[in-house]
């Protein structure tokens, strides 16, 4: 059986920066990363699905995809998909925490009051111009990557930090509220939230989830497959593998990663891990990363 979602991209430094343009006929499947992803739409009009919720984007919008979140663009118009993409390691900006700054706060799913935080930022009229300038300056540093100028890398990092400061400040303003188009299936959203909350419990199963969202097991499984493109069991396994892989990357013991991510037994974990990442859990623990496909 094919893997429902693929882990894509790679990150062996604390950040990477890309400028991409994709033809409208191109299809990008749902996928996830083991790092944070920030996307700035520069051209085109697309939808962007993130775990049961779909945002309708317009140029200038910023999307925050936290590590492990399953996502994909959904093409709605016959226009090129132009964007600036930034990959950020979960530890990016750790050096600034001593100064009371959290550069990755914009990726958190809830705010300080515990309220759900939108995964899309749309700048106000007064902030849009500043965001456009920052995005353009950061995009220009990509072309400078190939130059011998020893200061180009430092300038790129400085512009990236400036952008993150702007996004965190603007998004935390008391009068900020996302007013863009967003759609979701509330049942699927509740289902995914329940899974994410109870992921580490080995008794998590379709009957338990169906009871939590007040649906029959058969109907929920049919609905989930239609909406998300995989079964409930496959989705749970993917989430647990991501969690276990993250734990291994931080030095956790293999058995600890296995059972604390919700797997019932080691043999099932080992088989699923090797099938997903094409290496053993021990290889991840030794090398800190898995081979890219």
Ranges of each domain in the chain: 6-182, 186-287
The pLDDT score that the predictor gives to residue 292 is: 31
Question: Which pLDDT does position 148 carry in this prediction?
Answer: 65
pLDDT of 289? 41
Q: Is the pLDDT of residue 284 over 60?
A: yes
Site of tokens 């058969």:
218
Express as a percent the part of the chain with pLDDT over 90: 41
Backbone angles phi, psi at 259, to 5 degrees: -80, -30
Q: pLDDT value at position 253? A: 92
Place of tokens 């991209």: 9
Give the pLDDT confidence score for residue 164 in this predicted structure.
Answer: 95
Mean pLDDT of 211-217: 93
DSSP letter assigned to residue 252: -
- pLDDT at residue 138 is higher than 90: yes
- Distance, in Å, from the CA atom of 193 to the CA atom of 211, rounded to the nearest integer, reads 14
Whole-number pLDDT of residue 132: 95
Helix (H) or strand (E) holding 184: strand 182-184
The single residue listed with the structure tokens 């700048």 is 123
CA distance 57 to 51: 16
- Sign of the CA dihedral 95, 101, 106, 107? positive
Cα gap 14→12, rounded to integer Å: 7
**pTM: predicted TM-score of the whole model, two decimal places:** 0.80
Evaluate if residue 245 carries a pLDDT over 50: yes
Query: Contact at 8 Å (CB) between 77 and 24?
Result: yes
Sheet bearing 62-65, strands edge to edge = 15-22, 81-88, 36-43, 62-65, 120-121
Mean pLDDT, range 193-222, rounded to an integer: 92
CATH of 186-287, one of 2.60.40.1180, 3.40.50.10860, 3.40.605.10, 1.10.10.60: 1.10.10.60
Please, what CATH class does the domain formed by 6-182 belong to?
mainly beta
Q: In a 10 Å sphere around its CB, with 0-12 CB exposed, 13-18 middle and 19+ buried, how is residue 143 labelled?
A: exposed
* Residue 185: DSSP 8-state: -
pLDDT in tens, 163-183: 999 999 888 877 666 666 788
pLDDT at 94: 85
Choose among 52, 53, 56: nearest CA to 224: 52
| Residue 229: predicted pLDDT | 74
Mind listing the pLDDT tens digit for each residue in 102-133?
A: 899 999 877 666 667 779 999 988 899 999 99
Identity of the highest mean pLDDT range in 18-27, 60-69, 166-175: 60-69
């Amino acid at each position: 059986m094919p893997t429902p979602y693929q882990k894509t991209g790679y990150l062996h430094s604390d950040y990477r920066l890309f400028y991409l343009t994709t033809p409208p006929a191109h299809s990008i499947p749902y996928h996830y990363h083991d790092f944070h992803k920030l996307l700035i739409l520069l051209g085109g009009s697309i939808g962007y699905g993130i775990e049961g919720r779909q945002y309708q984007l317009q140029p200038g919008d910023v999307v925050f995809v936290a590590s492990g979140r399953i996502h994909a663009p959904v093409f709605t118009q016959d226009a090129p998909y132009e964007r600036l993409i930034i990959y950020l390691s979960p530890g990016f900006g750790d050096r600034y925490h001593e100064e009371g700054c959290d550069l990755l706060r914009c990726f958190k799913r809830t705010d300080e009051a515990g309220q759900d935080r939108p995964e899309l930022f749309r700048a106000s009229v007064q902030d849009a111009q500043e965001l456009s300038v920052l995005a353009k300056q950061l995009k220009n540093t990509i072309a400078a990557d190939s130059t011998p100028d020893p200061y180009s890398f430092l300038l790129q990092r400085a512009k990236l930090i400036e952008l993150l400061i702007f996004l965190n400040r603007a998004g935390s303003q008391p009068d900020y509220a996302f007013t863009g188009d967003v759609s979701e299936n509330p049942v699927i959203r509740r289902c995914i939230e329940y899974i994410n909350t109870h992921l580490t419990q080995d008794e998590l199963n379709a009957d338990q989830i169906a009871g939590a969202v007040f649906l029959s097991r058969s109907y929920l499984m049919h609905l989930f497959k239609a909406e998300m493109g995989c079964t409930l069991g496959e989705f749970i396994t993917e989430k647990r593998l991501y969690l276990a892989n993250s734990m291994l990357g931080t030095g956790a013991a293999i058995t600890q990663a296995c059972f604390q991510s919700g797997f019932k037994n080691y043999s099932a974990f080992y088989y699923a891990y090797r099938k997903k990442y094409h290496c053993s859990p021990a290889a991840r623990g030794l090398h800190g990363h898995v081979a890219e496909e």
